[in-house]
Amino acid sequence: MKTKGLFDHINQITSVQNPDYWETLLDGDKKSFSNYMVHRFLSMKMEWVELVNELQKYKLQPKELYKLYTNVLPKGKQWLKYVKRRNKMEHPSWLINIVANDMEVSKQEAYQAIEMYYLTEGGMLELGQLAQKWGIEPKKIEKAGLNVLGSVGGYTAGNAPKKT
């Protein structure tokens, strides 16, 4: 018999709500029940976010959590749209490589550094200059959003605003 997975447990919590479900599970099925993942999926329904947030504060055993949710949530088929986290490799590989080479760090550390640079306009400008130093084409730099001069309220760095 196939081991039950997360979606089987979510279906039981929302649609079936069998009070004896936990007793029918095999040891492998019980191990596949993750409080964290159950909270995460149930919180995808906007109406349940506050409830799930409140309940996840308590360190309940999986059996207790199952019983609590089946007693609190309405019974019925639910569509829980999973919101994926953003793609970790959103920066171009050339940018990660030049930061890693310039700082002499791993690609993971370079990625984290890029994330910090992107927090400020000055940091983005610095990355753009680093890319120029390493011979990256201006079009690639602009496509990566690192050509930030002139982006603050029509003010171009180095030029005083025109008086009218």
> Of 32, 35, 41, 37, which Cα lies nearest the Cα of 58?
35
Looking at residue 119, the DSSP 8-state letter turns out to be T
Give the rounded percent of residues in the chain with a pLDDT score beyond 90: 49
pTM over 0.85: no
Sign of the torsion angle spanned by Cα atoms 21, 63, 15, 25 = negative
The answer to whether residue 134 scores a pLDDT higher than 70 is yes
Residue 155, pLDDT score: 37
For 120-140, letters b (16+ CB in 10 Å) and e give eeebbbebbebbeeeebeeee
Q: Among the listed ranges 22-36, 69-83, 129-143, 148-162, which one has the minimum average pLDDT value?
A: 148-162
The answer to whether residue 153 scores a pLDDT higher than 50 is no
| pLDDT band with cut points at 50, 70 and 90 for residue 151 | very low
Give the pLDDT confidence of 3-44 residue by residue, as tens digits.
Answer: 898 899 999 999 999 999 999 999 989 988 999 989 988 998
Average pLDDT over residues 108-115: 88
Distance CA 22, CA 44 (A): 24
- For the chain, give the longest Cα–Cα distance: 80
Q: First CA to last CA across the chain, in angstroms?
A: 80
> Of 69, 63, 82, which Cα lies nearest the Cα of 24?
63
| Domain boundaries defined on the chain | 6-72, 93-143
| pLDDT band with cut points at 50, 70 and 90 for residue 159 | very low
